[in-house]
Amino acid sequence: MPKITFLGAGSTVFAKNVLGDCMLTPALQDFELALYDIDAERLRDSENMLNNLKHTTGSGCRIRAYSDRKEALRGASYVINAIQVGGYDPCTITDFEVPKKYGLRQTIADTVGIGGIFRNLRTIPVLEEFARDMHEVCPDAWFLNYTNPMAVLTNYMNTYGGIKTVGLCHSVQACVPGLFRSLGMDDKGVKTKIAGINHMAWLLEVTKDGEDLYPEIKRRAAEKQKEKHHDMVRFELMLKFGYYVTESSEHNAEYHPYFIKKNYPELIDRFNIPLDEYPRRCINQIEGWKKMRSQLVDNKDLTHTRSHEYASYMLEAMETNVPFKIGGNVMNTGLITNLPKEACVEVPCLVDRSGVTPTYVGDLPPQLAALNRTNINTQLLTLEAAVTKRKEHIYHAALLDPHTAAELSIDDIISLCDDLIEAHGDWLPKFH
């Protein structure tokens, strides 16, 4: 029986979206959905939830939970990754609280920044184990990575893991509908082109019937900036650099040196920046799950509508050879010509039976490429630290991070890295 393996299947809500989509996809009806998670209780919850869906949808997919990761992977055609190493407690708390002692504040801390660096460093060793298992039991499988930090983890699996990997993020799908909704515009019939790096890809073109919509978008955005709203950072970046960025304002506030500054505390209020947003979300999700659990796990009448997640559409395209277009994270094999070839980039990709074929973009506008490179610097040095186990590259990654470097001295950045290494303890490999 062909197999789709879901690593991190204890993420029950996300498993419902991605695997529920697969259960509703005609071309995937003869697949086994293999579930694996290190949390046995959450794994059982997801198994029960998916069996409820199987009953209500009449899907032909077989649901099976595994306690052995290698057996879950054995013979898989596709592997979907949605793990989080270290969770909210202790690792996310550590990523936020230790930097606070230095006056360094964050919003999400899952991509770059000091929090993103250390999330990478504790996640890459687990991906190394995944890659080792996959080479043994499913060497030809596609690895669909949903785990953040997206760019570095996808880069690792392609460059060092030797596994066919594409990174998938919601921000490309959500970018234009969200922008148009917030500005009171209709996105029906709009043609777009988006490319860059994950969480900092750019809406390069946005037209309708041959007309460039950017002048009207910027006019409305400038007017909206006169009052507080949830997307002020992205609008500010667009009005100053010329283009709208895919990922949210709370994310982009910490990717740049301009917004979260202890010497200019008024910027937090001016741009409506939600400091410590990710820990708040974690707490709300933990509390929400207690209430939601019975609605998913114990609900024999559970239903599902196919979501906007890319995974099932990609698998359908690969199985049927009917092409599907995605915004995918792939290695920069000359796709964006003014970004480093070692980088992972986010570009339009065609998916069919031959796999994932990225499209050529060419040069980004120079100011956008420059902004991307500030984040790529930290990404590549984080990867270097993870692969070589050399502590000096952790320092380099942090010293080159735009937000961290704008706030702290060289000595404080190195001291902060040492404190985080100590605080994370056995969640990290040993560095020398």
pLDDT in tens, 323-373: 999 999 999 999 999 999 999 999 999 999 999 999 999 999 999 999 999
- Return the pLDDT at 185: 98
- Segments of 295-369 assigned E as strands: 324-331, 344-352, 355-358
The whole-number pLDDT of residue 183 equals 98
* Tokens at 72, concatenated: 């879950």
Q: Hey, which residues are catalytic here? A: 170
Query: Tokens at residue 127, please?
Result: 């991906």
Instruction: Read off the pLDDT band of 182 (50, 70, 90).
Output: very high
- The residue with tokens 């490319």 is 195
Residue 184: the pLDDT is 98
What's the confidence (pLDDT) of residue 280? 97
The Cα 312–Cα 255 span in angstroms is 31
> Quick one: pLDDT at residue 246?
98
Tokens standing for residue 63: 């649901």
pLDDT reported for residue 232: 98
pLDDT at residue 67, as a whole number: 98
Q: What's residue 225's pLDDT?
A: 98
Q: Are strands 165-167 and 32-36 parallel, antiparallel or unpaired?
A: unpaired
CB 83 within 8 A of CB 126: yes
- C-alpha to C-alpha distance for 107 and 115, rounded to whole angstroms: 10
What pLDDT shows up at residue 229?
98
Closest to 404 in 3D by CA, of 305, 262, 231, 282: 262
Enter the DSSP assignment of 343.
Answer: S
Share of the chain above pLDDT 90, in %: 100
- pLDDT tens by residue, 265-310: 999 999 999 999 999 999 999 999 988 999 999 999 999 999 999 9
CB 323 within 8 A of CB 317: yes
How much is the average pLDDT of 59-82?
A: 98
User: What pLDDT, on the 0 to 100 scale, is given for residue 355?
Assistant: 98
Average pLDDT over every residue of 236-264 = 98
Give me the pLDDT at residue 137, please. 98
Question: What's the confidence (pLDDT) of residue 326?
Answer: 98
Is 361 strand, coil or helix?
coil
Crossing angle for the helix pair 150-159 and 366-388, to the nearest 10 degrees: 60
Torsion angle of the four alpha carbons 72, 77, 81, 82, in this order, in degrees rounded to the nearest 10: -80
Return the pLDDT at 373: 98
Average pLDDT value for the chain: 98
pLDDT at residue 69, rounded to an integer? 98
Residue 87's pLDDT band (cuts 50, 70, 90): very high
Domains assigned to the chain? 3-167 (3.40.50.720)
How large is the average pLDDT for residues 261-265?
A: 96
Residue 97, pLDDT score: 98
pLDDT of residue 175: 97
What gap in Å lies between CA 90 and CA 304, rounded to an integer? Answer: 33
Nearest to 149 by CA among 84, 89, 104, 91: 84
Distance between CA 377 and CA 152 in Å, rounded?
A: 11
Residue-level pLDDT at 248: 98
Q: What is the pTM of this model?
A: 0.98
Contact yes or no for 273/253 (Cβ under 8 A): yes
Q: Look at residue 401 in the predicted model and tell me its pLDDT.
A: 98
Question: To the nearest whole percent, how much of the chain has pLDDT over 70?
Answer: 100
Average pLDDT over residues 94-122: 98
Note the pLDDT of residue 392.
98
Q: Which amino acid is at 267?
A: L
Region 1-28: what's the mean pLDDT? Answer: 97
Q: Write down the pLDDT at residue 424.
A: 98
